[in-house]
């Protein structure tokens, strides 16, 4: 290592810390002026990573590498990008402000080339692991041939390692022969509330080693290493090693005099170490004791450069939270901010003149040309924006053999089987994944044809031994299904990684993940995370609801339809029939590829051109399938979210609106009411989510003066007379559909499931929860005047 390179890097490190601290100070200052509020700027948490990120971004990273930055190091990341010319002063001045640089790095909201969004701790870390697997998948399929393999790197807070999803990912990574993944732990031994427990590094070391990772511990800086070589140095080293975390932090906070007193008290009588301590001034002593490996550029660069293989590596880098700032080491420093007076002192230390705070080289000693010349050549900054991955054509229709009676889940399996037979390009871009429910979500036929993915091939032993089995589980680099262990967090983070392949690998994949509907809740934050960073995928959740009758309560999902409605970036559908599903799946494969204009369509007021991910809620309940031609109008209704299965007449007294597997009950109820109520209508709702989104958007458009804006649901309900009652029903929370009454003010009774499920037969449960035909009729009678409905039986 040339010393001049280190000199440049340490100047940049200083500048990065200054800029990040100033960004936070400046932003908080603004906030205080406006509304007296203080917002946590994470000065200490950022400072902890200043050296590591300087070493990485300005020296170690190559253009093909990708990084998930610890959320609270966002100011350091933005400062680095500012120096590299990829972030603007305007955005930094507006840090944490409206449209300013983001508090936590965001792929979609920041302008400075964020690789992975972070914020919810633990998720970005696991994302790097799954992104490595996706990189292997893409290359194994002969895609992105010219793109060199990159390292997927996570900058991890030590307390972040408490998040269980990291360990679920670690286990899966081992199973999938993970490569090219580095996790760099910012081992400052502090979390948000406190100082972390002693000796965690030893647990981590064993754990990571067990999973096949190399572990590199970067504990001492080069000043410390030099001091250890002095007479008495071994005593100093032993003292450091034995020092409890809270004490070390407290001494860092107190500074040189406190270090001297403590060291002399504890080891001052042990021979030459006294001289080692005494010959240093307070300031030199503090610098020595603060010189942990994670704040020492030569130590870090040596550690990173020592890795010559592609196995996963965990670096445990000792750091001080708040390094270089007055709050360094204080246990309460997580959201701490420097006071204006402290900032002034920091300004003086950095030789920054008032009015020159944003000047890139202000206060540095090396000539500007040297620094700018260095920045111009930083390897990581040479990367070009990824070329847009082209759209993959999806056929106009997806066909599936007709069945008189079947379920949407079986239909899904049949559709995937047909796609598996196809020679068209889109079929080879589909990649499926499931957390140990591949067979029970009906992906078996697809997997039989397309195989499982692994970097090296292995045959199905049962098949080799000629033992009959319905499933051939052969692994090969060309396989198109990634089988996961039972961890829904992993499912969603893998979908997040697969769903960003077009942006990260420059190759578009069409990811489809399956799981049981109730277990969406297990991976919900990861699903939210995937949507937040605009990953594109289809999630097929089946089976769902109390329709899963004999399985028992906790397997029966209730809230999921509302999750589907409320989750941004995710359009949800719940078809009742397989012909609807075929239309929706085709739409979905196209929709996940869109990234166009955000202006809503004047037809349904949805922003379909922007695209997003898709959630399909399916069922195992076999129901009689309609025998009908799929007209363009019907197709459009299915996609827009609803269509009339039976159009209400001009004097309609009742409309039943249903979603999903409960269709036979709705159809039956409408039939039974016909003699006693006029012109009963039956509305098939395939997507409460899209209906609701279109309705909200059309209302907003009208408020903005577009007086003719009309959403799909408004048009559908236009001709329903005002006195007509509306009964809504689904196997899920009733709020999913009961808002329909608000569209034109029809009196509405929402039926659905509000309480945990239980075991029983389907009729038992539908009766118990009040979503069977009789309950629909009772609701209709309650809403409408007229003679008693003759088929209504007393409710249980
Ligand atoms: C899932 C989740 N839970 C809680 C938080 C709130 N939170 C933010 S940072 C933090 C502590 C992080 O400590 P560490 O990872 O050691 O980072 P450091 O600031 O010490 O570098 C917590 C609890 C969060 N961001 N995400
Ligand atoms: Mg920490």
CA distance 534 to 496: 8
Residue 386, pLDDT score? 75
Q: How many A from CA of 160 to the centre of ligand 1?
A: 6
CA 45 / ligand 1 centre spacing (Å): 9
Cα 518 to Cα 441, 496, 544, distances in angstroms: 13, 20, 7
Q: Is the pLDDT of residue 37 over 50?
A: no
Q: Stretch 262-283: mean pLDDT, rounded?
A: 94
Q: Which atom of ligand 1 has the smallest separation from the CA of 186?
A: 21
Which pTM value belongs to this model? Answer: 0.96
| Residue 787, pLDDT score | 92
- Using the atom order of ligand 1, give the atom closest to the CA of residue 158: 16
pLDDT at 33 over 80: no
Residue 61 Cα to ligand 1 midpoint, Å, equals: 25
Supply the pLDDT for residue 30: 61
Report helix, strand or coil for 643. strand
185 Cα to the center of ligand 2, angstroms = 9
Q: What is 398-455 written as a DSSP string? A: ------SEE-HHHHHHHHHHHHHH--SHHHHHEEEEEES-TTTTT-HHHHHHH-EE-S
**Cβ distance 509 to 139 under 8 Å?**
no
Q: How far does residue 397's CA lie from ligand 1's centre (Å)? A: 47
How many Å from the N-terminal Cα to the C-terminal Cα in the chain?
Answer: 82
Sign of dihedral through CA atoms 126, 132, 138, 141? negative
Decide: 625 and 405 in contact? Cβ < 8 Å.
yes
Report the nearest atom of ligand 1 relative to the CA of 72: 19
- DSSP secondary structure string for all residues of 496-563: HHHTTHHHHTS---EEEEEE-GGGGGGGHHHHHHHHHTT---EEEE-S-SGGGGGG-GGGS-SSHHHH
Q: Across residues 578-598, what is the average pLDDT?
A: 96
- Tell me, in angstroms, the distance from the centre of ligand 2 to residue 43's CA: 13
Give the C-alpha separation, 776 to 736, whole Å: 16
Q: Show Cβ contacts of residue 219 under 8 Å, excluding neighbours closer than 6 positions.
A: 292, 293, 316, 318
Between the CA of 431 and the centroid of ligand 1 the distance, in Å, is 33
Ligand 1 centroid – CA 192 distance (Å): 6
The length of the chain, given as a count of residues:
796
Determine the longest span between alpha carbons in the chain, in angstroms.
105
Q: How far apart are the C-alpha atoms of 433 and 539, rounded to whole Å?
A: 10
Residue 247 burial (CB count, 10 A)? 12
Strand arrangement, sheet containing 570-573: 475-476, 452-453, 481-484, 430-435, 510-515, 538-541, 613-617, 570-573
Taking the centre of ligand 2 as the mean of its atom positions, its distance from the CA of residue 699, in whole angstroms, is 47
Residue 632 has pLDDT above 90, yes or no: yes
pLDDT digits (tens, 9 = 90+) for 717-748: 999 999 999 999 999 999 999 999 999 999 99
Measured from the CA of 319, which atom of ligand 1 is nearest?
Answer: 21
| Calpha distance 419→324 (Å, rounded) | 59
Q: Cα–Cα distance between 144 and 149 in angstroms, integer? A: 10
User: Quick one: which atom of ligand 1 is closest to the CA of 120?
Assistant: 26
What does the pLDDT look like over 379-388, one tens digit per residue?
A: 999 998 777 8
Average pLDDT of the chain, as a whole number: 94
Alpha-carbon separation of residue 210 from 132, 203, 656, 681 (angstroms): 19, 11, 58, 63
Atom of ligand 1 nearest to the CA of 191: 13
Q: Which long-range contacts (CB under 8 A, 24 or more apart) does 337-342 make?
A: 337/24, 337/25, 337/28, 337/38, 337/40, 337/41, 337/43, 338/21, 338/25, 338/43, 340/29
The pair phi, psi for residue 158, each rounded to 5°, is -65, -35
Ligand 1 atom 19 nearest Cα: 45
Q: pLDDT tens, 48-71?
A: 999 999 999 999 999 999 999 999
Pocket test for ligand 1, best of 46, 104, 157 (most atoms within 8 A of CB): 157
Atom of ligand 1 nearest to the CA of 48: 21
Residue 614, pLDDT > 70, answer: yes
Ligand nearest to the CA of 160: 1
Q: Which of 191, 333, 524 to mutate to test the pocket of ligand 1 (most atoms within 8 A of CB)?
A: 191
Helix (H, G, I), strand (E, B) or coil at 67: strand
For 435, how many CA atoms within 13 A lie in the half-sphere containing its CB? 24
Concatenated DSSP letters for 259-278?
HHHHHHHHHTTSTTHHHHHH
* Nearest of 75, 87, 14 to residue 43 by alpha carbon: 75
Å from CA of 221 to ligand 2 middle: 19
Helix, coil or strand: residue 661: helix
Nearest-ligand number for the alpha carbon of 74: 1
The string of pLDDT tens digits covering residues 461-518 is: 888 888 888 888 899 999 999 999 999 999 999 999 999 999 999 999 999 999 999 9
Is the CB of residue 104 less than 8 Å from the CB of residue 77?
Answer: no
Nearest residue to 53 via CA among 184, 159, 206, 205: 184
Rounded to the nearest angstrom, the gap between the alpha carbon of residue 352 and the centroid of all alpha carbons in its chain is 39
309, exposed or middle or buried, with CB in 10 Å at 0-12, 13-18, 19+?
A: exposed
Q: Which of 143, 134, 28 is nearest to 497 (CA)?
A: 134
pLDDT value at residue 32:
59
In 10 A of CB 95, how many CB atoms? 24
Residue 42 Cα: closest atom of ligand 1: 19
Q: How far is the CA of 329 from the centre of ligand 2 (A)?
A: 11
Number of the ligand closest to the Cα of 40: 1
Ligand 1 binding residues, C-beta < 6 A: 45, 48, 71-72, 120-121, 157-160, 186, 188, 190-192, 321, 334
Give the integer Cα–Cα distance in Å for 577 and 624: 8
Residues 109-167 pLDDT 10s: 999 999 999 999 999 999 999 999 999 999 999 999 999 999 999 999 999 999 999 99
Non-local (6+) Cβ contacts of 200 within 8 A are: 158, 161, 189
Q: What is the pLDDT of residues 585-594, one digit of tens each?
A: 999 999 999 9
| Residue of 49, 118, 121 with the most ligand 1 atoms within 8 Å of its CB, for mutation | 121
Beta strands at 654-659 and 681-685: parallel, antiparallel or unpaired: parallel
Taking the centre of ligand 2 as the mean of its atom positions, its distance from the CA of residue 495, in whole angstroms, is 28
Q: Among 507, 390, 534, 592, which Cα is nearest to 136's?
A: 507
| pLDDT of amino acid 270 | 85
* The residue to which tokens 């299915």 are assigned: 638
Atom 13 of ligand 1, nearest CA residue:
191
H helices within 675-755, ranges in order?
688-703, 712-717, 735-738, 741-744
The pLDDT, as a whole number, for residue 90 is: 97
Q: Which of ligand 1's atoms lies nearest the C-alpha of 525?
A: 1
Question: Is residue 3 very low, low, confident or very high in pLDDT (cuts 50, 70, 90)?
Answer: low
Residue nearest to atom 12 of ligand 1 (CA): 191
Cα(592)–Cα(16) distance, integer angstroms: 38
775 Cα to the center of ligand 2, angstroms: 56
**Per the omega criterion (within 30 degrees of 0), is the bond before 701 cis?**
no
What atom of ligand 1 comes closest to residue 73's alpha carbon? 21
Taking CA atoms, 252 is separated from 166, 237, 621, 640, in Å, by 30, 16, 64, 61
Residue bearing the CA closest to ligand 1, atom 15: 157
As a whole number of angstroms, the distance between CA 91 and CA 495 comes to 31
Which residue's CA lies nearest to atom 23 of ligand 1?
A: 192
What is the best residue among 106, 158, 159 to mutate for testing ligand 1's pocket, by most ligand atoms within 8 Å of CB? 159
């Amino acid at each position: 290592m040339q010393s001049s390179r280190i000199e440049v890097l340490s100047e940049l490190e200083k500048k990065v810390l200054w800029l990040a601290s100033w960004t936070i100070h400046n932003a908080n200052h603004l906030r205080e002026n406006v509304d007296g509020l203080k917002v946590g700027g994470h000065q200490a948490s950022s400072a902890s990573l200043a050296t590591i990120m300087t070493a990485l971004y300005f020296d170690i990273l190559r253009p093909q590498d990708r990084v998930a930055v610890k959320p609270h190091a966002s100011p350091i990341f933005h400062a680095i990008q500012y120096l590299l010319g990829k972030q603007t002063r305007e955005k930094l001045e507006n840090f944490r402000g409206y449209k300013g640089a983001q508090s936590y790095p965001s792929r979609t909201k920041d302008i400075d080339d964020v690789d992975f969004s972070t914020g919810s701790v633990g998720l970005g870390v696991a994302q790097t692991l799954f992104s490595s697997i996706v990189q292997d998948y893409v290359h194994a399929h002969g895609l992105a041939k010219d793109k060199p393999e990159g390292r997927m790197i996570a900058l991890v807070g030590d307390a972040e390692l408490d998040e269980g999803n990291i360990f679920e990912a670690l286990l899966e990574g081992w199973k999938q022969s993970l490569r090219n993944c580095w996790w760099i732990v910012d081992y400052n031994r502090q979390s948000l509330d406190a100082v972390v427990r002693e000796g965690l590094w030893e647990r981590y070391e064993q754990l990571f080693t067990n999973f096949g990772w190399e572990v590199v511990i970067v504990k001492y800086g080069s000043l410390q290493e030099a001091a250890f070589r002095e007479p008495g140095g071994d005593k100093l080293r032993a003292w450091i090693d034995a020092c409890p975390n809270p004490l070390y932090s407290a001494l860092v906070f107190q500074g040189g005099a406190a270090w001297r007193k403590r060291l002399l008290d504890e080891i001052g009588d042990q021979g030459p170490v006294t001289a080692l301590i005494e010959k240093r001034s307070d300031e030199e002593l503090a610098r020595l004791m603060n010189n942990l490996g994670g704040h020492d550029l030569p130590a870090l660069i040596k550690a990173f450069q020592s890795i010559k293989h592609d196995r996963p590596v965990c670096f445990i880098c000792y750091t001080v939270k708040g390094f270089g700032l007055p709050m360094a080491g204080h246990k309460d420093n997580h959201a701490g901010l420097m006071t204006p007076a402290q900032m002034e002192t920091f300004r003086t230390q950095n030789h920054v003149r008032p009015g020159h705070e944003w000047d890139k080289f202000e206060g540095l000693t090396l000539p500007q040309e040297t620094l700018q010349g260095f920045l111009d050549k930083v390897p990581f900054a040479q990367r070009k924006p990824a070329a847009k991955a082209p759209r993959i054509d999806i056929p106009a229709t997806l066909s599936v053999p007709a069945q008189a009676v079947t379920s949407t889940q079986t239909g899904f399996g049949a559709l995937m089987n047909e796609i598996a037979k196809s020679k068209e390009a889109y079929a080879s871009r589909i990649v499926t994944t499931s957390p140990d429910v591949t067979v029970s979500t009906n992906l078996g036929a697809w997997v039989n044809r397309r195989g499982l993915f692994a970097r090296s091939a292995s045959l199905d032993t049962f098949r080799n031994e000629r033992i009959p089995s319905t499933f051939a589980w052969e692994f090969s680099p060309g396989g198109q299904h990634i089988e996961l262990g039972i961890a829904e967090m992993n499912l969603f983070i893998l979908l997040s990684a697969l769903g960003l392949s077009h942006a990260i690998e420059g190759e578009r994949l069409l990811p489809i993940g399956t799981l049981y509907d109730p277990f969406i809740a297990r991976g919900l934050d990861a699903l939210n995370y995937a949507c937040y960073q605009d990953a594109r995928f289809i999630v097929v959740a089946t089976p769902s609801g109390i329709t899963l009758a004999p399985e028992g309560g906790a397997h029966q999902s209730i809230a999921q339809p509302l999750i589907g409605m409320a989750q941004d970036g995710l359009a949800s559908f719940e078809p009742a029939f397989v012909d609807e599903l075929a239309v929706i799946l085709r739409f979905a494969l196209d929709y996940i590829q869109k990234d166009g204009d955000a202006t809503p369509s004047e037809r349904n007021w949805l922003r379909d051109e922007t695209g997003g991910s898709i959630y399909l809620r399916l069922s195992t309940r076999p129901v009689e399938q309609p025998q009908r031609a799929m007209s363009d109008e019907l197709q459009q209704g299915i996609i827009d979210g609803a269509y009339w299965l039976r159009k209400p007449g001009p004097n309609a007294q009742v409309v039943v609106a249903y979603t999903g597997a409960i269709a036979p009950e709705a159809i039956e109820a409408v039939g039974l009411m016909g003699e006693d109520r006029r012109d009963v209508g039956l509305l098939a709702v395939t997507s409460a989510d899209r209906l609701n989104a279109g309705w909200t958007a059309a209302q907003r458009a009208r408020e903005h003066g577009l007086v003719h804006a009309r959403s799909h649901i408004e048009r559908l309900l236009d001709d329903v007379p005002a006195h007509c009652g509306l009964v809504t029903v689904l196997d899920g929370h009733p709020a999913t559909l009961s808002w329909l009454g608000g569209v034109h003010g029809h009196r509405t009774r929402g039926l659905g499931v509000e309480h945990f499920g239980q075991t029983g037969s389907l009729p038992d449960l539908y009766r118990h929860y009040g979503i069977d035909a009789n309950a629909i009729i009772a609701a209709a009678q309650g809403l409408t005047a007229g003679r008693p409905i003759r088929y209504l039986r007393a409710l249980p």
